[in-house]
Structures are given as structure tokens and as C-alpha cells.
A and B are shown apart, each in its own frame.
Chain A
Amino acid sequence: MSWELLLDPSLVRLAVSMAVPLALASAGELLMERAGLLNVAIEGMVTLAAAGAFLGAFASGSTGVGLLVGAAAGAGVSRLLAHYAVAWRRDQVTVGLTLYVLCVGLASLLYRLVVGVRLTPPRVETLPPVPLPYLENLPVVGEVLFRQHALVYATAAVVVALHAFLFHTSSGLRLRAAGENPVAADTVGVDVFGLRVRAAVAGGVLVGLAGAALPFTFTGTFTEGIAGGRGWIALMLVIFGRWTPLGAAAGALLFAYVEAFQFKLALLSKAVPPQFLQMLPYAFAILVLVRAYRGAEAPQALGKPYDREART
């Protein structure tokens, strides 16, 4: 296999845009997990946000409104999750999976109520490519990185900003403390409850944008099962990236690349049944993780409700 095949610009360009929903969703999830909230509703949130974003844009005629609705849908669901998990101290996995079912049902129900049963369904405009001045003319990279749609650049900015926030600001430190050791954080005056709720809302916005990216960059519409397991993949990318935004985003790129590459491979050779090629991204992810996994740990208090009275 030659390098030309592996580094085909059209392939890498595709992988970059495919990585956007994965990277955004995993950034949102990561923010919540760092604060101690495990959000297993993520696949449902992506689905609901995709429906909300499409319906918002369809009803208003504006992509901006659609993006807002998608973000609000994500934020609303994770706010609800935070209420159950933080205020009522319910088990996060139970609430999360229940919300997952709720979101998937709600997404489809809303589409049915707004659009109805038709043979020619509506479509909204997808985001156009926005070439960045000067950069777009760079050899190879210009084509691959700088002639993308706006969400690609926004995602890159979000990932870098989130990384800087978590590891280079005092607020980021407090947030991580709430996820690592809420008792100690509380003792030094960190508002653990408030922080977790705010992290949930901010993380929900990012997950919602990931959902919105699906209709606005790939399909122009909402279809049943549009998330296609990408929410679960995002959840995995957080682990893969060892709870760092840059790591998770790198994982998203790698995963999207192998997925896109697999389709190219499928065209070149018919010797292997396609189903085995389709296993590639998942098997590859396990292999990379085994090689790269050295003592990465989840936030200590992840998934555990914080109870001020029940100090140990």
C-alpha cells in the first residue's frame, strides 16, 4: 500500500469534516465527565439535537436558528440529567439511559408532528464551505483543512479553548476538582453542585451542536437513526483521549479517517467481504487503545452523586 493512497487529500478532507460531530460531542461529554457527571444519554441527545436543529431551520428558514435550537435541546436534556443526578442524587447511568430512550422517541415524535407523513420531505440548506483567506492557497493543507465549512473551524477552536480552560485556568482546576474529589473541593469553597450543573449545560450545548452538525453538514434533513451510534463512539473517544480535549479530538480524527479509508479500500479490493472491512475502525480503535493505554484514569468521582451529609 502506497503513501499516496493513505494520504489522498480527498480522503483526509472527508475525514476532517466527518470528525466534527464526533469531536464536538466528545468535547461536551468530556466537560461533563471532568466535573463528575457521566452522560450516557449522549446518543439520544445527538439524535434529538439533530431533529431540533433541522426542524428549527425548517420552520424559521434560518440555519442560525437551527443551530440555536440544537444547542438548546442538548443543554436542556443535560440540565435535566444534572437535576436528577445532582439535586436528587439519582444514579447517573439509570437517568442517562432513560433520557436516551426519551430523546430518541421525542426526536421522531417531533418530526412526525411538525413534518408529518409525506412522500416528498423537506430539506434545508447545508453549510457552504468557507475558504480561509491566504491559508486556503497553501499546498495540500489548504485544500484539506482550510476550505471546509464553518463548523470545522469552530470545532477546532472549541477543542483548543476547552483544553486551555481545563488545564490552564483556575476555574478549570476547580471544575476538575469537583470531578476528582468533591469533598476536598467543597472544603476549599468550590461550589460542587453549581459547577456540575453549569458544566452539564455547557457540555450539553456542545453535544447539541454535534447533533446539529449532522443535518447541516451531511444530510440537509433529519432521518430516523441519523446518529447511527456516533454518540456512543463520542463517549468512547473521551476514554480514548484519556479525558483530555486534544486527545479526544485526535481520536475523532483517527476514527473518521479509518472509517473513510475503509470505504476507499472497499472499492479497491473485493477479496474481503465488506462486513470485515466495516469492522476495521472499531478493531483499530481497540488496538490503538491497548497500545496507548498507560495508566489513564477516569475522574475519581465520575458517576457518583455528591452528598454533603454523607462524608466519609
Chain B
Amino acid sequence: MTARAVARWQAALAYAVGLAAALGVLAVLVVALGGDVLAAVGSVVRASLGSAAGFGQTLNKTAPLLFGSVAVILGLRAGAFNIGVDGQIYAGAVMATGVAFLLAGWPRPLAVPAVLLAGAAGGALLGAVPGLLRARAGVNEIFVTVMLNFIALFLVEYLSTGPWNDPTAGEAITRAVPPGTTLPLLGTRLGAHSGVILAFAAAVAVWWLLYRTVFGYEVRAVGDNPIAARLGGIPVGRTVALALIGSGALAGLGGAVEVSGFHYRLILGLSPGYGVMSILIAVLSRRHPLVAIATSLAFAALVVGTDSLQRSVGLPASAVFVVQAAVLLVLLASEGLRRSP
């Protein structure tokens, strides 16, 4: 066995031990809160992967997480930390909804791409602000993207309760987008929409961009060592700005997919913390867009599966968060123990 194969086995073993320990944590929490462990494990599996309907919901949850994490990865590869995925998802959703309202009556093959493009443009617009500020004035992009998250949220609140509000809902929800502007479903039994395929395609496209194009080479060069990149004649500022704009466009596309694939409306609360999860997934995937596909799926399964514990064993929502975090912490610890001397 080669050293590399040994290392791989060790890694697999560490993950297995970590998963077992995570299950142990889950069991302890469930017992402590007075639930049935077997029912809990069964429900986690069945809700996430063990049934067609469950798997469909996992796929639906994967779409925004994959768009978001690939967006974060594109930024990270250029050395820029995009914490603004939430805001960009909302910006994309706003543009997609607005354009969808304008395209009532258009044939679907024209309307849907236009709506998705509008979403990407909305996200790109929000990504351009930190991109240009960083390139032109050296302003920290983390700061700007976080502030824009808050601003985008207020914009969505304004639109969803004001000019676009659906008066029958009585909530921060807009009118439905015209039927011809929505993404098709992948079969009714599965209940998943076709947006997840777009997300997979986006991940592959970003991989291709990063590893098969000159721009991607420049992005990676800038991210790895900006000084060397500058000496090598790469326009560092422009590259970072373009990466952040692309990053915003990916997140914005994710927002458009949520509107035209899932909700058919703009809703305040469309992104329940997808930004944070996207960052987690991006870093856990070691900034690789293809790995992010698997990580996003695993994450979606974890969220969907553990969320069912409320229904099956009556855990409070807060305990579900604790379970999710505990699973990750135990996995991180098992990796850490393996690596520490």
C-alpha cells in the first residue's frame, strides 16, 4: 500500500469515527430530552435520503446552498471573502421577480432564461459594490458585503410589503410571478424543481472557469499570492473585482432559482441563513467547486434530516441546531485529532 493510500484510509477512518461519535451525540441529546433514539435515527434517514419525497426536498435545499457555496469559493480563490451571499440572493430574487412581472405572457423558453439572467445581474450588481470598492480604494470587502446584507433585506421588506405586496397574504410576500416564468418540476413524486440541475451546472462551470481558462489562472494566482501576481503582470484589482462580481452573480442566480423554482414569489425570509451555511460548505470543501457539490448535498441532507427530529421525536428547534452543530464539531475534532502530533 502506498503512503497516499494509507493516508486516504486514515482519513476515511477518521470520518467514520467522527460520524459514529456524532451519532452518539445525537443519541445522548435525544435521550436527555426524552425521545426515542431508534425513531430519531430512522427519521433523520427517511426525511433526508430514505424516501423519494425526502430526497426531493434535500435536492431543493441543495440548490441555494450549492449556488451560495460556489459563489463564496469564486471569491475566496481570488483572495476575497464574500460574506454577502444572503444579500446577493435577495438582490437576485428582487431582480428576477421584477423582470418576471414584466414578462407575463411571454413563452416560457424565452421568459425563464430572462428571469434567471436578471437574477444573476441583480447579484452581480450587489457584488460589484465591494468588488469596485476593494479594487479602487482598497476597502475591506468583508465589511461592505455584510453591510449590504442588511441593506438588501430592507429593500426586500419594502418591496414585499409595499409596491409588490400580495394584499390577500397579509404578510411580507409579493404577488405570484406569472406562470410562464417558472422553472419546471423534476416529476411530481420527487417534488424537486429543476433549479438543482442549474446549481450542479454552475459548480462545474466555475470549476472549468478556475482550472481551464486564463482568467481562472489569474484568479488563483491573485488569491495565492497577490504580490507575485502583480509582478507577473496580472491586473490584481480588476481580477478581484471581477471575481466578486461573478461571485455575486452566482448567488443572485441562486436567488432567482428560489423565486422561479420554489416559491414563485419574493418572500422576506427567502434565505434563512444560507449565507452562513454557504461559507461553511465552501471552506469544508477546501474551496473546490466540484467538492462543494458533494458537501452541499451532505449539508442539505443533514439539515433536512435533523430538522425532522422536531416532528418525529418532539425535539425543540433549538435542540436541532445543537445537534447539527455538534455533528460538525465532532467531525472537525476527529480531523483535528488525526492531524495533531
Contact = CB atoms under 8 A, between A and B. Distances in A.
**Is A bound to B?**
yes
Interface of A: 84, 87-91, 93-95, 97-102, 104-109, 112, 229, 232, 235-236, 239-240, 273, 275-276, 278-279, 282-283, 285-286, 289-290, 293, 295-296, 298, 309
A82 to B, nearest CB: 12
B140 A293 contact: yes
A289 B139 contact: yes
Contacts of B279: 93, 97
Given A89-B340, A239-B143, A293 B138 contact: yes
Contacts of B280: 93-94, 97-98
A275 B151 CA distance: 9
Given A88-B335, A106-B318, A293-B140, 13 more contacts: A88-B333, A88-B339, A97-B276, A98-B329, A102-B325, A104-B318, A105-B318, A105-B322, A108-B321, A232-B146, A276-B154, A286-B133, A293-B137
A108 B326 contact: no
Interface in B143-159: 143-144, 146-148, 150-151, 154-155, 157-158
B339 A240 contact: no
B332 A293 contact: no
A105 B320 contact: yes
Which of B157, B283, B318, B328 has the most chain A CB within a 10 Å cutoff?
B318
A266 B129 CA distance: 27
Contact of A290 (B137, B316, B324, B333): B137
Contacts of B146: 232, 235-236
Contact of A105 (B154, B158, B276, B325): B325
A285 B336 CA distance: 38
B139 A109 contact: no
Contact of B321 (A87, A93, A104): A104
Interface residues of B, number: 44
16 contacts: A88-B340, A90-B332, A93-B283, A94-B280, A95-B332, A98-B332, A102-B322, A102-B325, A105-B325, A112-B316, A112-B318, A275-B155, A282-B148, A285-B143, A290-B133, A293-B137
B154 A278 contact: yes
B151 A108 contact: no
Contact of A94 (B142, B162, B332): B332
Which of A90, A282, A290 has the most chain B CB within a 10 Å cutoff?
A282
B39 interface: no
A91 B286 CA distance: 10
B143 A289 contact: yes
B317 interface: yes
B162 A273 contact: yes
Contacts of A296: 140
| Interface residue SS majority, chain A | helix
Contacts of A283: 147, 151
B339 A89 contact: yes
B319 interface: yes
B158 A102 contact: no
Interface of B: 129, 133, 137-140, 142-144, 146-148, 150-151, 154-155, 157-158, 162, 276, 279-280, 283-284, 316-322, 324-326, 328-329, 332-333, 335-337, 339-341
A66 to B, nearest CB: 20
B223 to A, nearest CB: 14
B333 A102 contact: no
Contact of B143 (A94, A109, A240): A240
A89 B140 CA distance: 25
B276 to A, nearest CB: 6
Contacts of A109: 316, 318-319, 322
A230 to B, nearest CB: 11
A305 to B, nearest CB: 10
B160 to A, nearest CB: 10
Contacts of A88: 332-333, 335-337, 339-340
A105 B319 CA distance: 6
B283 A106 contact: no
A112 B320 CA distance: 13
B283 A94 contact: yes
A239 B140 CA distance: 8
A239 to B, nearest CB: 5
Contact of B317 (A101, A108, A232, A282): A108
A88 B18 CA distance: 15
Contacts of B129: 286
Given A89-B339, A276-B158, A279-B151, A102 B321 contact: yes
Given A94-B280, A109-B316, A273-B158, A101 B321 contact: yes
A229 B321 contact: no
A95 B25 CA distance: 17
A295 B137 CA distance: 9
Contacts of A112: 316, 318
A279 B340 CA distance: 46
Contacts of A309: 341
A240 B162 CA distance: 33
